[in-house]
Chains A and B, each alone.
Chain A
Amino acid sequence: MKVVVFCKSVPDTETRVKLKDNRLDKSEIKYILNPYDEYAVEEAVRMKEAGKVDEVIAISMGPERAREALRSALAIGADRGILVKDDALDGSDTYVTAKVLVKALEKDGVDYGMLLFGQQAIDGDTWHVPGQVAEMLGLPQTGSIIKLEVDPDAGKAVANRLVEGGEEVHEMSLPCVVTCRKGLNEPRYPSLPNIMKAKRKPIQDYSIADLDLSPEEVGKAGSFTEVLYYSLPPKKEAGKKVEGEPEEVVQALVKFLKDEIKVI
């Protein structure tokens, strides 16, 4: 069975967000492979090591820096990569992203048994693309999985999905879509030979023309939603510090917990 893992190049979690001309200032940003995608790649590679999968393909839609994200996936153990890169893709919303990725899969012609995603990209935080891809391809999906069992011969997969108050266990026929999250596995630290080998694994580049898409169908032009405005959330008041009689401070704390955090 072949599986495809969807990867995104995202800013590291510690990134300080700065805005410039109503856009994100990317000058001081370190980009990494989306941590949620790491769970997906790790799971795919483990399936390969268990003999259930014979090829793991990593795919990404993004600017040139997405190539690094693919290399990270290859270092973990993916076999080859696909990068869809085109200036016209700038400003694409999740629907367009899903559309483009589906086209790339078709163009590549891979006969996949499973499509693995990270639950969310830590920059967009939408959770959209996996479901949109699944719907476009008419595939079953289980999101936010913390356990996966696959039987390629029987053409079935069983996944445990984390929901409020417990886990849903879904049985799906292959091919299917899953989105991965923390708790599914512990991503390995890639060995240096694998990091080096990854530099030589093949990455196929596609432009939108290769996918028979026109500029009007992608990017801002082809999107259903657009970003109108970026703003920074109201600055967290430099932590309040209260001192005094226990009764007083507790009252203040309770108010904070109740009204501002709404945890009570």
Chain B
Amino acid sequence: MINPQEITRHVCWNIPLLFKILVYVGGLGTIALAVWSVYQRVQIWKKGREEDRKDNLKERLIFAAKNVFFHTRILKDQYPGIMHLAIFWGFLVLLIGTILVAIEADVPFVHFYYGAFYLLVSLALDIAGLVLIIGICMALYRRLKEKPDRLQPEKAEDNLILYLLLAVAVTGFLTEAVRIAAQGFPKFELYSIVGFILAIPLNIVGINGTLAHRFFWFIHMVCSFAFIAYIGYSKLLHIVVTPASIVFRDRRSYGVVDPIPDMEEAESFGLTKIEELSWKQLMDLDACMRCGRCQEACPAHSTDKPLSPKNLIQDLKEHMNDRLAKGKDPEECTPYQKISDDVLWACTTCAACMEECPAYIEHIDKIVEMRRYLSLMEGRIPEELNQTFRNMENNYNPWGVGFANRADWAEGLDIPLLSENGSAEYLLWVGCAGAYDDRYKKVLKALVEILKAANIDFAILGTEEKCCGDWARRLGNEYLFWMMAVENVEVLNGYNVRKVITACPHGYHTLKNEYPQFGGNYQVIHHTQLIAQLLEEGKISLKKSLEGTFTYHDSCYLGRHNGIYDEPRKILQRLGLSLKEMEKNREKGFCCGAGGGRMWLEEKTGTRINYVRCDHALALNPQGIATACPFCLTMFDDGLKAKDKIEEIQLKDIAELVAEAIK
């Protein structure tokens, strides 16, 4: 029986005092350097605007912990997810091991590194080291052999970090292996399985002496310190910054944008100087690891528009460093020198980028801030928008149809007006499309039939309703948005509106998530939510079953922005339709192309986003396509017409299908 006390190794066996001193000096030195680098970055972020992100701190920390330790988001992409998980856990376990060893070695009166504990830890560390090396090799393979698009362009640091970390891991094993050989292969060292096995060939070629041990030990130390020192000067900083970015993430729906405070008094609007971004927005720029998942998911990028969310963040980061680290003059150095107008206008605010980003970086708010600068400060907008903005100013809708005609669609339908009745349980928010677009009027009429069949007490605002303003805000015209929002809220609050039903996801999103910014707090329900509920509760009954294979397109503003994926699908299934899913659905849904105000803009480069999405649908050979949004409906309509498929395929809003089935 071996004495447990003997099942151990003498930490820093064979290491001369000089080396030990170097370890501590170097260790503390490089750690201090790393901390100093972090501190410097923090100083730069602090130059940004104040922002309170400390609400719900407990939830924030737990959420971040889940992401950091369980890689919840990173694992959504299998290969790189597993690869990083291996590197992370491999490294973390080794780090813990190193700390344990340091405590054992230097904290007096503490002695635990022996016996069963020693064996357990040895095994764990060896497995961790192996896992780490596997992870790094997976990464090197990806970078050197596969060379995925989304990782381009690469920087020197990308592979350098991998080589460095690999060197640390390999030299670690080499050191252990030589030690085991030099110590004569103690049997219990089998638990350091990798080192033990590696020791065998080394022993055979004679690399088994104390000198070799010191040699590898020294190299291992140098590599480790190089690694730690490099933290402050490379993307290794993400070790600190990315978890912080997750902790302080925006907990609201993706597309929510903050208002411009003090519109009346403000002298500048939108992003004129980088320090106008908040500290969190600046931190975002450092949290980006150029993984490119955002770029890959971006519908604009994949249709050859000049926008890449990754490049946008990187360009802003470079600019931030130019201005706040190098101190360049804001008059001479502006974000718009690197980021062209076209890049900014190409975004549909679909938030596919934000859904993918493992660092929870917020791309949309930065794009909107910059669009605000273009729209409000410079008036530098795409030509088409001139008329659209004027239409909104003069007639409160983007098409410029007379505001006095806003209730014409309801003529003869016996729909109560809030101005006549004074109140109703629900306000039906018609929206501009429902009021003026012939195609969407049909959807509203179908919805009204459903509401009446369910005996819902509702009314409309008629000519008192103005455009919700969503698209104006997304395009950066916060002033125009503000006018609409403030006036709408006044009317809604004047009638004491509590519950709102809407057929348009953009109206839904804006009224629910953004009108509170202006004093409008309502319970907003999307028509698919309502219909699903009515079917559940039996308040409407389906008189017939519909036949056919349908596919459902997730509207970005309903889906990713507000998490409504199931209700529309439940409805379609209840209707008896056979449901097939397109590639890229639900959280990974591919935008129709009309969001972010792009409905009002010409697509001048690349392939049309809506054509691509139509292709996704057509690939399923469906009999019909169902949507829940007027913009999506229009985009599919255009796309199907262009592909000459409009006759063959039924393109319907969910409300239309339900209205058909309840007759």
Contact = CB atoms under 8 A, between A and B. Distances in A.
| A touching B, CB within 8 angstroms | yes
Interface of A: 12-16, 28, 30, 32, 186-196
B404 A189 contact: no
Given A30-B395, A30-B403, A189-B386, 14 more contacts: A13-B394, A14-B394, A14-B395, A16-B404, A28-B404, A189-B381, A189-B390, A191-B376, A191-B377, A191-B378, A192-B377, A192-B479, A195-B479, A196-B264
11 contacts: A14-B402, A14-B405, A15-B404, A16-B405, A28-B404, A188-B379, A191-B376, A192-B479, A193-B377, A195-B479, A196-B266
B268 interface: yes
A193 B479 CA distance: 11
B209 interface: no
Given A12-B394, A28-B404, A189 B269 contact: no
Contacts of A190: 379
A193 B372 CA distance: 12
A193 B394 contact: no
A186 B382 CA distance: 13
Contacts of B279: none
A32 B394 contact: yes
B385 interface: yes
Interface in B245-265: 264
Contact of A193 (B269, B404, B463): B269
Contact of A30 (B268, B379, B383, B394): B394
Interface-centre pick from A30, A187, A191, A192 (highest chain B CB count, 10 A): A192
A14 B479 contact: no
B389 interface: yes
A187 B386 CA distance: 9
A187 B479 CA distance: 19
A22 B395 CA distance: 26
Nearest to B386: A189
B400 interface: yes
Q: Which 6 A-B pairs have the closest CB atoms?
A: A14-B402, A192-B376, A191-B379, A12-B394, A16-B404, A189-B379
B267 interface: yes
Nearest to B402: A14
Contacts of A189: 379, 381, 385-386, 389-390
B400 A14 contact: yes
Nearest to A27: B404
B269 A192 contact: yes
A15 B402 contact: yes
B85 to A, nearest CB: 48
B377 A16 contact: no
A12 B403 CA distance: 10
Interface residues of B, number: 27
Contacts of B390: 189
Interface in B373-420: 375-379, 381, 383, 385-386, 389-390, 393-395, 400-405
A12 B395 CA distance: 8
A193 B266 CA distance: 8
B276 to A, nearest CB: 15
A13 B405 CA distance: 13
B401 A193 contact: no
A16 B402 CA distance: 7
Interface in B485-522: none
A194 B378 CA distance: 10
Nearest to B395: A14
B38 to A, nearest CB: 38
A196 B383 CA distance: 23
B2 to A, nearest CB: 81
Nearest to A199: B264
A188 B390 CA distance: 11
A209 B84 CA distance: 83
Nearest to B267: A193
A32 B390 CA distance: 10
B390 to A, nearest CB: 8
A235 to B, nearest CB: 16
Nearest to B463: A28
A198 to B, nearest CB: 13
Contacts of B479: 192, 195
A14 to B, nearest CB: 4
A113 B654 CA distance: 64
Contacts of B377: 191-193
Interface in B261-284: 264, 266-269
Contacts of B402: 12, 14-16
Nearest to A32: B394
Contacts of A28: 404, 463
A7 B331 CA distance: 37
A118 to B, nearest CB: 16
A36 B314 CA distance: 46
A195 B267 CA distance: 11
A51 B481 CA distance: 35
Interface-centre pick from B266, B393, B401, B402 (highest chain A CB count, 10 A): B402
Nearest to B393: A32
A38 to B, nearest CB: 10
A168 B274 CA distance: 52
Contacts of B378: 191
A188 B380 CA distance: 9
A17 to B, nearest CB: 10
A15 B400 CA distance: 11
Interface string B575-610: 000000000000000000000000000000000000
Nearest to B374: A191
Interface string B223-265: 0000000000000000000000000000000000000000010
A197 to B, nearest CB: 10
Contacts of A187: 386
Contacts of A16: 402, 404-405
A30 B466 CA distance: 13
A194 B268 CA distance: 11
B403 A14 contact: yes
Contacts of A196: 264, 266
Nearest to B265: A196
B462 to A, nearest CB: 12
Contacts of A13: 394
Nearest to A31: B394
A157 B109 CA distance: 99
Interface string B350-385: 000000000000000000000000011111010101
B190 to A, nearest CB: 74
B376 A14 contact: no
Nearest to B390: A189
Contacts of A192: 269, 375-377, 479
B443 to A, nearest CB: 24
A186 B267 CA distance: 26
